[in-house]
Amino acid sequence: MAGATFDLEMKKDDTFPTFKFQIVRESDGQPIDVQGETVNFFIKKPSAAPGAAFVAGGGTVTVLDNKGNCSYAWDAADTDTAGILEGEGRFTKDSKVGTVPGNRFFRVRIHDH
């Protein structure tokens, strides 16, 4: 995959490192404080059929600070298939739902052993 860019690369079945992402306003890049709010990580596994919906990842999201920094702890089932996993963070703030990143998907390459 020459020229492909990934947000993270890891081995099949690994659950470390965590996946870190930041929730920011798309308009100006300013961080959004999501402490005390609901934040989830949704994934589409490499084995998913084309056009398949994203499903909630099996791991947990921890909000790290008041600058929108979050960490997703992988569940073993999230990384059990080699290939390219796509993901996105979804959050609720003031009864409104947002998705990050807003203009693409996070891309994680899962390498076979």
The dihedral sign for the CA sequence 54, 57, 63, 67: negative
Extents of the domains making up the chain:
8-111
pLDDT for res 52: 86
**Residue at 3: amino acid letter:** G
User: What fold characterizes domain 8-111?
Assistant: Immunoglobulin-like (2.60.40)
Instruction: Report DSSP letters for 64-84, one per residue.
Output: -STTSEEEEEPPGGGGSS-EE
Give pTM, 2 decimals: 0.88
pLDDT for res 54: 87
pLDDT for res 46: 83
* Positions of the chain with pLDDT under 70: 1-3
